[in-house]
Structure 1
Amino acid sequence: MQRGVSSTWITTGVALVSAGIVSAAPVAASPPAAALAFDIELTAEDITLDLVRHGQSTDDVNNILGTLPPGAPLTELGQQQAQEVAQSIQQEFPGGIAGIYASELIRTQQTADALAGLPGMPSVQVLSDLNEIPAGLVEGHPRDLFTEASFFLPMASWILGGVLVSEPGTNYNGVVFDDQVDSAINTIYNNTLAGNGPMTDVAYASGGDIAIWTLMNVKNPDVWPIIQSVLANGGPPPNGGQAILEGNPTDGWTLVSWDGTPVSATPDLFTGLFVDFRNVIVAPQVAAWHIWEAIQGGDQADITPAMQTGFNDVLAAYEAFPQSVIDTITGALGGSAGGAADSLADGLVGAI
């Protein structure tokens, strides 16, 4: 089913892009300088976002897969980890913190309370959209090979671009997850700009949320530090671990560091091209899911906008693809690759 939906959208998108290129080329006019300046001014302001995994919980100790609120509390070690990461954050961002956020899980709120308790820090704001990915059929079960595979394999599919795969026994797929966390991030971002103060926020969540959303959304999803943390600590990231990002919801996010390991802002060629191709295959899936949700709701006032938005998003993804490939190649190989990248782009545009 996924393959059929993607093929339909791909065919439509490619045809329309081709038509747009052919029809627009003879009459294209250079935009006035004032318009160019205005476009440049539209670039959104960046913030720093520190995503922090909660400290050790009693579920961690008892090896239980628990994802639903209110969940398990912190252990004594978890409380210590919360204090340590709070002190680290205060030292790392001496300019202050705009907001402290946590999910509805007790363990994330208790971890966040340690930072909020330090002098000059804001109080904790609870956002349900930061909640853990639901485990579905394996909720509350002991962690073993079967439950871990059932829980994490759908997430792996989301990272690779198969966002319509659902957690077992649920309708919770990669599109639902990404929409959920995006909503939380947008709230944090808007609150930060409205505050006219520090431009750094701290959000406490679960390891799966942090790792999967980061890998699905940043421009430079370096998997190696994450794999290393999984092998060393049994989870991404470890209790009290941090993922620090910079950016905004409009222009995108860049991963600065993962659990203390700096990450290059420019992805390597393989990673960059993977992200470019993933963006193309994800767009029609997201559009199809949102249209299906609207159809299920049965309100024509929702269906028509969902179809129009989906159509525009798929078209935009295909239009952006050639330039994205150029940027990836030139960024990974340096300026000397510019001529080759331009030739490749000409070929891609011609193919479209």
Structure 2
Amino acid sequence: MRLILIRHGETQSNVDRLLDTAHPGAPLTQNGLRQAHDLAEAIAHEDIDALFVSTLTRAQQTAQPLAERRGLEATVITGVHEIAAGVEEMSPDWRAYVGMLESWSPENLDAKLQDGESAREFMSRFDAAIATIEAQGHERVAVISHGAALRVWALAQDPSVAGHTSGPLHNTEWIILNGSTAGGWRVERWGQQDLTAPTHTA
């Protein structure tokens, strides 16, 4: 399956640098709504058979122009929402949250912020959502989700790309993976970076 993981458009929480991970979350700003319309054009070259979105408002708003352009239904699916920030919710200081995410490893799956999620909890629900999508038999699927969730999940599937994915995944940028849950996933694109392009050394 070709899996296109898209980050939602801009919200005021993004602008203000606030950790907004809870439901229903902030809606898109006017700029975010423009980004959602631009996304439908920017991704026009990609075939998409089905479109899924997280349970948060901003993801559903981002999906609307793409769904309308493709004649698809944006199906809300549980499990692909943002990684819970717990006691850090709506904090302007991201250090504890990011530090926790960066600490996750196969040997550290149960660490979490107070009232937040562990790697084991997050991966379990995101994996289950992707497996549910796979079971429907689509060949090319887009999922509109959230920055931290997409980065953490995609890197867990293909750790080899870690050295090629510096910088954030900006609003309405996307990651492309090919493969399956059973056979493994390979990251082919991360934001503006085409990871299938040959590299040359001097």
| TM-score for the superposition, normalised by structure 2 | 0.91
CA offsets per residue over residues 215-255 of structure 1, 9 Å max, x none? 1112x53123421xx2xxxxx30011110000011001000
Equivalent residues in 2 for 1:1-352, closer than 5 Å: 47-93=1-47, 97-118=48-69, 120-141=70-91, 143-144=92-93, 148-159=94-105, 161-166=107-112, 168-170=113-115, 172-191=117-136, 193=137, 199-218=139-158, 220-227=159-166, 230=167, 236-264=168-196
CA distance in 2, matches of 1:172, 1:206: 15
- 3-state DSSP of counterpart to 1:117: helix
| TM-score for the superposition, normalised by structure 1 | 0.53
CA distance in 1, matches of 2:143, 2:87: 28
- 3-state DSSP of counterpart to 1:176: helix
Deviation (angstroms), 1:158:
1.7
CA distance in 2, matches of 1:162, 1:55: 31
- 3-state DSSP of counterpart to 2:79: helix
CA distance in 1, matches of 2:77, 2:21: 15
CA distance in 2, matches of 1:114, 1:221: 34
> Which protein shows a greater Rg?
1
CA distance in 2, matches of 1:225, 1:182: 23
CA distance in 1, matches of 2:54, 2:39: 17
Deviation (angstroms), 1:86:
1.5
Return 5+ residue gaps in structure 1 as ranges: 1-46, 231-235, 266-352
**Aligned alpha-carbon RMSD (Å):** 1.9
One-letter amino acid of the counterpart of residue 216, structure 1: A
Return 5+ residue gaps in structure 2 as ranges: 198-202
- The structure-2 alpha-carbon separation of the partners of 1:82 and 1:153, relative to structure 1 and needing over 3 Å to count, comes to same
Deviation (angstroms), 1:110:
0.5
Deviation (angstroms), 1:62:
2.2
More strand by share: 2
CA distance in 1, matches of 2:59, 2:105: 24
One-letter amino acid of the counterpart of residue 247, structure 1: G
CA distance in 1, matches of 2:96, 2:160: 24
Structure having greater relative contact order (Cα 8 Å, sep ≥ 6): 2
CA distance in 1, matches of 2:34, 2:169: 17
| Matching residue of 2:200 | none
More helix by share: 1
Count of paired positions: 198
| Matching residue of 1:29 | none
One-letter amino acid of the counterpart of residue 81, structure 1: Q
CA distance in 1, matches of 2:95, 2:181: 31
